[in-house]
Amino acid sequence: MGGSGGRGGDAGLIGVGGGGGGNGGDPGLGARLFQVGSRGGDGGVGGWLYGDGGGGGDGGNGGLPFIGSTNAGNGGSARLIGNGGAGGSGGSGAPGSVSSGGVGGAGNPGGSGGNGGVWYGNGGAGGAAGQGGPGMNTTSPGGPGGVGGHGGTAILFGDGGAGGAGAAGGPGTPDGAAGPGGSGGTGGLLFGVPGPSGPDG
């Protein structure tokens, strides 16, 4: 299987956390049916005094539907002042196969957005979900689309992060069900508004 994306480095006193390792790694095409995509790395934490969290890496795409693809990385949180990082995108579902009864695999959820800083900061946006896998042939059902990632929470001052977009179901007969959008994050306790929910697939 493709190697998991590395976690982004944390910032020191002031600075932005590193982004999580990019795509978690798709299976090699020659062995796609026997391998799975790997998880995207989580974003690093923002600086102690100031700095945003890093974004999460994207999840790899799946092989067998029974194994599925693996999750996206979550956005890193801010510490004191700063915004949460965005969640990574979920991997797409695997194509249908004989072992799955022809049904396409489910798309993976998007990563969650990181939380805003304890004093001030907005929650990070949730990541987009992965699309459902296609049916094995034109008469096989497509897999369901994944759920959008949850928006990050604001703590005291700041707005909640937007939920990630849900994904479309995979093509087939019938097409897979669309995945719902992720819920928005909670707004700050003293000041702030909740984040909007993501659109459905």
Walk along the chain (201 residues) and give the pLDDT tens digit of each residue: 334 445 555 545 555 554 444 443 333 333 334 444 456 667 777 767 777 777 777 766 655 544 444 577 788 788 888 888 888 888 888 888 777 788 888 888 888 888 888 888 899 999 899 899 888 888 989 999 999 999 999 999 999 999 999 999 999 899 999 999 999 999 999 999 999 999 998
Other CB atoms within 10 A of residue 99 CB: 12
What pLDDT score was predicted for residue 51? Answer: 72
Rounded to an integer, what distance in angstroms lies between the CA atom of residue 97 and that of residue 141? 11
- Omega cis (within 30) before 196: no
Whole-structure pTM value: 0.82
In this prediction, residue 86 carries a pLDDT of 85
Q: What is the pLDDT of residue 90?
A: 83
Q: What is the pLDDT of residue 101?
A: 82
CB proximity list for 47: less than 8 A, separation 6 or greater? 11, 12, 13, 14, 15, 16, 17, 79, 82
Asked if residues 72 and 105 have their Cβ atoms less than 8 Å apart, the reply is no
Per-residue model confidence (pLDDT) at position 61 = 66
Partners of 14 in beta bridges:
50
CA gap 4, 20 in Å, rounded = 10
pLDDT at 66: 44
